Amino acid sequence: MVTVEKIDNQQENPRQAPLGPRRRGLSARLRSIGALSYYSGILVAIRSPGFIVFSSTTPFTVLFFLFVIGGPSFISYGLIGATISILVGAGLFLGADATYNRLQFKFQDFCVASPLPAVDYMLGLSLGELTFVTPSLVVLICLFGYLHLITWSFPLAIVVMLLAWVFSSAFGFFLSTFILRSRSAFSVTSLVSTLLTVIPPVFYPIEVIPPSYRFLAYLAPTTHLSILMQSVLGLQSYPENQLLISWAVLLGFTVFFFALAAFKARWRQP
């Protein structure tokens, strides 16, 4: 009898009716994000550990050639470039995995039908991608310590790394919702990763580029990542206004891509 009265009251006052399963608490959202990161990252890494090696092949290859050609003087720049390349690559390769989930496995359709928001889905996949690059990041941080690059300002370098991971993950997820064929997902994300991490001054200082062409380098967010990392680790001394601009650009890119992923991504397919 009480149940019938509650139903009648909800029908008469629809504004007071519960919003259903879409209203989820923080603990439920965290459990969903953790479950996604486990199944898309940890479980895959346990079953196929070769993905851990594959995710870091290109950055460590470039680092090796920098050491062979330039010697120890370029190894510090190479470590910074490898760190940025690994984090940005992990975020962008999320786009390839998300595309396969959407087109091949239809897993995204299942998530759309559930109470899971698009942002939680993206965060779960991005945390899963960190599983594959964490061993490489540990090696790189140990090398930073070996070269005496870890000082009191190193926490700022960690902040720069986190921003690199967030903006690239959001960008990769946004791209994935517009890729129409799963076969082209890996090629698109690989091309974007190369354009952002190999061509701009990520593995080398921006002073190498002629002054008349440096404005092109400043268009890439990864250039500002490299500038901030080089400054924090004491490799280069940049003017204060340049550092402020780099922080502003990096934060702007991060907010912009995260907003695109949260509000403009094609979460529900037409």
**What are 223-240's pLDDT values in tens digits?**
999 999 999 998 888 999
Residue 18 in domain: no
Torsion sign over Cα 58, 161, 133, 191: negative
Closest of 132, 142, 139, 137 to residue 54, by C-alpha? 132
pLDDT of res. 203? 92
For the stretch 71-111, pLDDT in tens is 777 899 999 999 999 999 999 988 888 888 888 777 877 88
pLDDT of res. 102? 83
Residue 182 in domain: yes
Residue 41 in domain: yes
For the stretch 238-269, pLDDT in tens is 999 999 999 999 999 989 988 887 787 776 65
**Which pTM was predicted?**
0.84
Half-sphere exposure of 4 (CA within 13 A, CB side): 1
Q: Which domain does 67 fall in, by range?
A: 26-264
pLDDT of res. 182? 79
Residue 4 in domain: no
Q: What total number of domains does the chain contain?
A: 1
- Strand spans (E) along the chain: none
pLDDT of res. 270? 54
Indicate if the pLDDT at residue 120 is higher than 70: yes
Give the pLDDT band (50/70/90) at residue 50: confident
Give the pLDDT band (50/70/90) at residue 165: very high
Rg (CA), the chain: 22
Distances (CA, A) of 63 to 161, 164, 167: 18, 19, 23
Contact indicator for 98, 109 with CB cutoff of 8 Å:
no
Residue 180 in domain: yes
Determine the Cα angle at 110 with ends 106 and 114, to 5°.
160
Indicate the burial class of 84 (C-beta count within 10 angstroms; 0-12, 13-18, 19 or more). buried
Residue 231 in domain: yes
pLDDT of res. 3? 44
Contact indicator for 180, 72 with CB cutoff of 8 Å:
no
Residue 16 in domain: no
Residue 11 in domain: no
pLDDT of res. 19? 33
